Amino acid sequence: MLDRLRPWLRVTSWPILLAMLALMGVSLMAVRAAESADPDSVVVRGATTRQAVWIGIALAGFVAATLIAFPRIGRWSYGLFGLNLLLLVVVLLLPPISGSRRWIKLGPIGFQPSELAKLTTIMTLAWYLRYRENFRRLPGLVPPFLVTVVPAVLILREPDLGTTLLLFPTLLFMLFVAGARPRHLLTVVAVVAVIALVPVPCRLAGTEPAEAAARRSLAYWQGRIGGADYVVVAAPLWKMKPYQIRRLEGWLRQGDDETASATNFQLAKSKMVLGSGGLAGNEASEAVDLYIWWLPEDHTDFIFAVIGGRWGFVGCAGVILLYVVILVCGAEIASITQDPFGRLLVMGVLAMLFVQIFINVGMTLGLMPITGMTLPLVSFGGSSMLVNAAALGLMINVGQHRPRNLGPRPFEHDAKAPEDRASAPTPVEPRSGRGR
């Protein structure tokens, strides 16, 4: 057994593996801190034990992702993508849980197909783009965008706005790495931005007072038309849920105390928990426990705030440093990988991780709106832990098959030193006997 394991250990990217294990350890400590701050909560009670079980499952998924050759996984990508779409349709037909349809329950275990969709979409895009050049023209961008739009629409119906927003930056980054023209990508972004700002009239009759107030605060224009109250809002606000509009209003009006207490409660408490940690944190502080107890979703979406409250700026910087190790080592793998599918797969995984980290940390600090994005490998949640660990396994899988010999090939050594070769006279080719 050890003889078969030794080659695997020799070619594994140890910085990525160690950083992943360290983040999983931080996850257990942070979830435990959230659980100890609110031991009477039914939601948080036993979360540390469940997270430890999911970490074990995620490590098994990580190892499995490294053992199967990644070109074979690429050949399975279309089938896995189709199966994932089927699961996204099935989850919409199930009864809602906490107001949304995101989970498929298998006894005590719940799984989110939307989490898996992040990875299967990346695999499908990488397999599609690997040998094509049509995406260097503007019409050639249509198929990759369709591959992304189909799962995004299904995920948005759950609703899960955070995962939907994650897919499109990942697509743009993969297209850029694959060789798409930057002006085409910027054109697409500009068109989407213009469409998002298109004014749409919205009637307020029959809406909840909180929703009506939120729409008025974000409206281009408000007034009465035909005896009914109307507002003109940007196109996305017309279909957004009331709580999503209130979150956006709270993010835009962070300095307004009235808005903070009514619609910005999570962000206000997140900043309070972060600020209470100071430089190195205070694990024994009852005040920090009280602040964490006030913070909703402290063990999932706002786990970074718990880390800041418990271990201060040093703890937050340490977590960011571990992510930097993964991103830098992953970029190094992609830079020397000769297989186009492997390179695109690694860059897609890196883009997915970076966007998740940026959005989660940003919304914790108030730099981004609250979207329900988890912190990779740290937030409580089995589906997210499993998918992110499997994604890192695929990254290491590609690294295990990269070219190892970056110097001269065996038995092709030149005995002379570089300076000797530079000073040696240029050999003169012998003349042909015909010219004599």
pLDDT in tens, 385-434: 999 999 999 999 998 876 654 444 443 334 444 444 444 455 444 444 44
The pLDDT tens digits of the residues spanning 42-86 come to 667 788 999 999 999 999 999 999 988 899 999 999 999 999 999
Please state the domain extents for the chain.
23-196+251-403, 197-240
Q: How far apart are the first and last CA of the chain?
A: 71
Cα separation, 16 vs 370, in Å, equals: 29
Q: Considering the entire predicted model, what is its pTM?
A: 0.85
Contact 93, 145 (CB under 8 A): no
Averaged over 20-30, what is the pLDDT?
A: 95
Average pLDDT of the chain to the nearest whole number: 83
Whether the link from the prior residue into 236 is cis, omega within 30° of 0, is no
Question: Above 80 in pLDDT, residue 172?
Answer: yes
State pLDDT tens for residues 212-230: 777 887 888 888 887 788 8
DSSP H/E element including 201: strand 199-203
Q: What is the dihedral of CA 279, 252, 300, 19, to 10 degrees?
A: -50
Report how far residue 421's alpha carbon sits from residue 181's, in angstroms, rounded to the nearest whole number. 42
Q: What is the pLDDT of residues 289-343, one digit of tens each?
A: 777 777 888 888 899 999 998 898 999 999 999 999 999 999 999 998 889 999 9
DSSP assignment of 402-414 equals S----SPPTT---
Residue 422, helix vs strand vs coil: helix
Q: CA 146, CA 114: separation in Å to the nearest integer?
A: 17
Of the candidates 77, 91, 84, 78, the residue with the CA atom closest to the CA atom of residue 116: 84
Closest CA to 73 of 391, 382, 338, 402: 391
Q: In sequence order, what are the beta bridge partners of 233?
A: 200
Q: Please give the helix or strand (H or E) that residue 294 lies within, else none.
A: helix 286-294
pLDDT of residue 410: 41
Count, residues in the chain: 436
Q: Under 8 Å CB-to-CB from 296, ≥6 apart: which residues? A: 265, 266, 269, 302
Beta strands 221-225 and 228-234: pairing type?
antiparallel
Cβ-Cβ contacts under 8 Å for 224 (sequence gap 6 or more): 230
Q: Where are the beta strands (DSSP E) in 25-138?
A: 104-106, 109-111
CA 207 distance to own-chain centroid: 34
304: which residues sit within 8 A by CB, 6+ positions away?
316, 319, 360, 361, 364, 375, 378
Q: Are 34 and 298 in contact (CB under 8 A)?
A: yes
Tokens of 158: 């759950």
Average the pLDDT over each of 95-104, 121-130, 413-422 and give the range with the smallest value. Answer: 413-422
Q: Where are the alpha helices (DSSP H) in 130-178?
A: 142-156, 161-178
Determine the Cα–Cα distance for residues 124 and 213; give it in Å rounded to an integer.
43
Pairing of strands 221-225, 109-111: unpaired
